[in-house]
Structure 1
Amino acid sequence: MTNSKWLTIVIPALNEQEAIGGTIARCLEAREEISHQAGLDGVEIIVVSDGSTDRTAEIAQSFDDVTVIVFEKNRGYGAAIKEGWRRGCGNYVGFLDADGTCDPRFFAALCETAIAENADVTLGSRLGGDSQMPAIRRAGNRGFAFLMGLLCGRKVTDTASGMRVIRRDSLRHLYPLPDGLHFTPAMSARALMNSLRIIEIPMKYEERIGESKLSALWDGFRFLKAIGEGVLCYRPEKIFLTGFTICMLITLVLAAYPTEFYFQNHRLEEWMIYRFVVCQFLGSFGITLLLASALSNRMAEMSSRREDSVGFWSSFVASLFVGKPLVIIVGFLTLLGVGFLWPGLVEFISTGKITLHWSRLIAGAFTLFTVLQISIFVVLMKVVEIWSYEQSSLEKKNFELKRVERINLGEPSLQKDINISKSASHVLK
C-alpha cells in the first residue's frame, strides 16, 4: 500500500446508535465511487467508539470490512480521529461525523480535488444555500470564520467542518491537535497560519440524527481558544497588531474633536481632560501591543514550526525597532516629551510654582513613558537574541558531538564523507 493511493476514513462516534449503522452502510456503498472518481486504489473505514454507553460499538462491529476501535472511556472527538489515523494506513486521511449530516460520497470530490490541486487540507463547507444547519450554529461559524480571517490574513468559510481530507505527510505541520470538539477549528487555524494549501468545496448538509453533543456556549469558547492558540503558535504578532490597530482607531476617534477644537479656537475646554486621559491610556496600551508584536515576531522566527516568511506589516514593525530607525524614534520622542514639559520645569525652578496646562503634562508624560517602554523592549530583545545565539551554538555543538560519535562507531556513510573531505583538502593544498 506504500506506493499506492489509499484513503482512510475515520468515523468518531459517541452514543450514535440511531445513526451509526446508516452512516457506515453509506460509506461502504460509496467506496467504489470514491475510488473510481478520485483515482484511488482503495478506501478503508475505521469507526472509533469514543466511550459510547449505548449500542454504537455493537452495531459498528456487525459490519464486515470495517475496523472498529473501542475506547472504554470517553477521550474526545479529536482523540478518536487521531487514533483512527494512527491505526490507518492511507496516505490520505479523512473523517466524517457519525450523525448522518454528511454524504460519504462527497469524499470523491474532496479526494479528487486534494490530488489534482496538491492540497494539504480539503474540506466540505456546510454553509451553502441548501445547508440545514441551525441558524445559531451558522451564525457562530460565520463569526469564527470572520475572526480567523482577520487574524490569519486568509480565510475559510467553515472553520469547524466535520468532513475533511488531509494528506498524511501534512499532519506533521498540523500536530499537535486537541482531543476535544475544538479539534476542527484548531486544525483550520494551524493550516492557515502555517500557510498550508487548504481548499473548500461547498457540500450539502442535512439535519443530524439523534441529540447533538455540541454546547453552543462552552464549545464556542473552546473554539475561540483553539483559534487563539493556533495564532499564538505560528503568528503571535497578528494578535498584538490587531489589538494595536483597535487601540489606535479608538484613540483617533476620541482625539478628533479636541484636535479640531484647538485649531479653531487655540484653546481646550476643561472637560476634554477626560478624553486626553483615555487617549493616553489607549495610546500607551497600543504602544505596548506594538512592541509585543515585534518581540513575539522575533521569538516565533526562532521556532522550527514556522517555515515561511512573515507578512509585510509584521516585518515592517519589527524593522522599526532596530538600528537607526530605533535611534531616530527614541530621539524624536525624547525631544518631543522634553519640549512639552520644559516650560513647566523652567517655571518651577524659577518660581517654585507650575501653571503648565494639563494637556502639555499629559502629552509629555505619554511620550516619555513611550521612551521607557521602548527601552525595556530593547533590553528584552537583546535577551532573546542572546538566548537564540546560545541555543543555536548549543545545538550545533551537540550535532557535532553526535556526528563525531557516529564516526567513531564506524558508520560507513559518514566515514566516507570524512575521507572525501580529507581528500579534497589534500588536493587543494
Structure 2
Amino acid sequence: MEKTTTLSIVIPAYNEEEGIADIVHRVLGVENDLAKVGISRLELLVVDDGSHDRTAQIVSSIEGVRLIRHVTNKGYGAALKTGFLHARGELIGFLDADGTYPPEYFPQLCQVALNGADLVIGSRMAGAKSKMPITRRIGNLFFANLLSLIGHQKITDSASGMRVFRREVLERIYPLPDGLNLTPVMSVRAIHEGIKMVEEPIPYNERLGRSKLSVVRDGTIFLRSIIWTALTYNPVRILGAIGLAGMVMAAAILLGLVTHRLSGITTLNSWGVTAVFVALVAGVTALDIFALGITFNYLVSLFYKRPIRQGLLGRPLFNPPLEHHFGWMGLFTLLAGLIVGGISLALGVNGWAIARLWLYLLGSAMLILTGMQLIIYWIILRVLEELSQREMLTKKDMDLSQTSEVTLTV
C-alpha cells in the first residue's frame, strides 16, 4: 500500500480582511501541484488571532478551510502554535496572511522535505526576486549573518515566515515564543538541535495593507531572542568571544605600558591613566566573561544531558580543553605575581622611588588576582565536569556485560 503524506498549512491572521480571501484561495489552488511532488492531501488551517474586523467571517465562508479562533489577540507565534497543535499532517507549513509570501512555492519546499530535509525555509534573500523594503533587507542580512556566526552554519534568512517542516521536529524546537520572534528562535533552535535545515529561494512581495512590524522594536526583540536562545545551547560561543576580545585589548594596552616603562618613561598623562584604567577593567572583566561562558556550557550539558560543547568556532581549539589547564595556569600566574610583587616591595624598602615601581606593583596585583580567579574557576569546572559525567560513569559501573563470571573449583 502506497504511503500517503498530508501537508497542513497554517495561516495566522489578525485583522487581515483585505487580503485573507486572496491568500486562502491561492493556497487551495496549489493542491494539484502538491500532488505532483507526492503530497496526497492538503489541510489548510487559518487561526484568527482575535481580529476586530471581518477576517473570521470571510474565512468561514470559504469551503475547504478549518477556522480556529482566539477570543483575544495572543500574538503571531501563539497563533502559529495553535495551528501546529491542531494540524494533522505529517508535514506542517505556514505563511503569512498578507500576501507577501508565494504559496505557489509550497510544492518546491515540500519536495525538499520529502527528499530528507527536516526543516525547509523559504529564503527571501537567496537569489529570488524580492520587493523587500531596504530597511528590512538590511535587518535580515544582519540577523542572518549573526546567526551564521553563532551557529557556525550559513543562513541567508533567519526570520522567513514561510516554512515546511516534519511534525516530529516540533518536540525538539519547542518552546517557541508567542510573538513575531518565533521564526528566528525556531532557526536558532534548529541549528543547535542538529536539525537538517535547508533554504529554498522564494520571491517576496509587498504586503497588502499596513505592516504590523516595527523595525526598531521588533528588530531589538529579534536580536535579544537570537542571543538568549543561543546562550541556552552554547554560551561559550558568545561569552567566550567577548571575553577573548577584552583580554586581547587589555594585553595590548599593558604591552604598550611596559614598552614605555622600559624606554625610560615613568610618568603618565591623562590618556595614559585612562589606558591603565581601561586595561585593568577590561582584563578582569574579560577573564570573568570567558570563564563564565565555559561554566555555563557545563551547566547546559548537565541540563540537556549531552556532551559538553567545546570551542568558539564549533570545534575544540585545545586538546584537552582550555579549562583543563586553568589549574596550572592559575598557579603559575599567582606565583609570578607574588615574585614580581615581592621583588618590587623589596626594592621599595631599599629606597627605590615609587615612580619606578608603581607599574610593577600594579602588574603584580593583577597577576595575583588573575591567578586566584583561574584557580577558583578550575575548581568549579572540575566539580561540574564530575557531575556531568556521573550518570555515564554510573551506567558503566553497573553494566554487567563488561564483566565475565569465573568460578574457581577447589
TM-score (norm 2): 0.87
Q: Is the 8 A contact 1:344 1:354 kept in 2?
A: no
Deviation at 1:385, TM superposition (A): 4.8
Match of 1:415 in 2: none
What is the root-mean-square deviation in Å for CA atoms of aligned residues? 3.1
Mapping for residues 259-298 of structure 1, pairs under 5 Å = 261=260, 265-267=263-265, 269-271=267-269, 272-298=272-298
Q: Is the 8 A contact 1:344 1:356 kept in 2?
A: no
Alpha carbons of 1:427 and 1:104: their partners in 2 closer, same or farther (altered >3 Å)? farther
Q: Is the 8 A contact 1:258 1:268 kept in 2?
A: no
Alpha carbons of 1:253 and 1:389: their partners in 2 closer, same or farther (altered >3 Å)? closer
In 2, Cα distance between equivalents of 1:2 and 1:163: 29
Q: Is the 8 A contact 1:49 1:71 kept in 2?
A: yes
Asked whether 1:224 is paired with 2:223, we answer yes
1:205-255 alpha-carbon deviations (Å, 9 max, x no partner): 001001111111221121112102221221111121121133134335545
Deviation at 1:388, TM superposition (A): 4.8
Match of 2:55 in 1: 56
Alpha carbons of 1:161 and 1:427: their partners in 2 closer, same or farther (altered >3 Å)? farther
Asked whether 1:190 is paired with 2:189, we answer yes
Q: Is the 8 A contact 1:276 1:362 kept in 2?
A: no
Match of 2:129 in 1: 130
In 1, Cα distance between equivalents of 2:256 and 2:326: 31
Q: Structure 2, unaligned stretches of length 5 or more?
A: none
In 2, Cα distance between equivalents of 1:191 and 1:331: 41
Mapping for residues 23-34 of structure 1, pairs under 5 Å = 23-34=23-34
Q: Which residue of 321, 324, 347 corresponds with 2:323?
A: 321
In 2, Cα distance between equivalents of 1:293 and 1:372: 18
Alpha carbons of 1:428 and 1:12: their partners in 2 closer, same or farther (altered >3 Å)? farther
Deviation at 1:309, TM superposition (A): 5.4
Q: Is the 8 A contact 2:329 2:374 kept in 1?
A: no
Q: Percent identity?
A: 34
Alpha carbons of 1:43 and 1:287: their partners in 2 closer, same or farther (altered >3 Å)? same
Deviation at 1:293, TM superposition (A): 1.9
In structure 2, give the amino acid aligned to 1:206.
Answer: N
In structure 2, give the amino acid aligned to 1:336.
Answer: A
Whose helix proportion is higher, 1 or 2?
1
In 2, Cα distance between equivalents of 1:327 and 1:227: 34
Q: Is the 8 A contact 1:94 1:166 kept in 2?
A: yes
TM-score (norm 1): 0.83
In 1, Cα distance between equivalents of 2:185 and 2:2: 29
In structure 2, give the amino acid aligned to 1:321.
Answer: E
In 2, Cα distance between equivalents of 1:190 and 1:428: 56
Asked whether 1:158 is paired with 2:157, we answer yes
Mapping for residues 135-154 of structure 1, pairs under 5 Å = 135-154=134-153
Q: Is the 8 A contact 2:109 2:120 kept in 1?
A: yes
Alpha carbons of 1:309 and 1:343: their partners in 2 closer, same or farther (altered >3 Å)? closer
- Between 1:210-219 and 1:354-363, the stretch displaced more is 354-363
Mapping for residues 197-236 of structure 1, pairs under 5 Å = 197-236=196-235
Match of 1:339 in 2: 339
In 2, Cα distance between equivalents of 1:150 and 1:269: 43
Match of 1:378 in 2: 378
In 2, Cα distance between equivalents of 1:292 and 1:206: 44
Deviation at 1:149, TM superposition (A): 1.9
Alpha carbons of 1:308 and 1:158: their partners in 2 closer, same or farther (altered >3 Å)? farther
3-state SS of paired residue (2:106)? helix
Match of 2:236 in 1: 237
In structure 1, give the amino acid aligned to 2:52.
Answer: T
Q: Is the 8 A contact 2:251 2:283 kept in 1?
A: no
Q: Is the 8 A contact 2:348 2:357 kept in 1?
A: no
Alpha carbons of 1:4 and 1:266: their partners in 2 closer, same or farther (altered >3 Å)? farther
In 1, Cα distance between equivalents of 2:59 and 2:97: 11
Match of 2:81 in 1: 82
In 1, Cα distance between equivalents of 2:2 and 2:179: 31
3-state SS of paired residue (2:46)? strand
Alpha carbons of 1:302 and 1:103: their partners in 2 closer, same or farther (altered >3 Å)? same
Q: Is the 8 A contact 1:343 1:356 kept in 2?
A: no
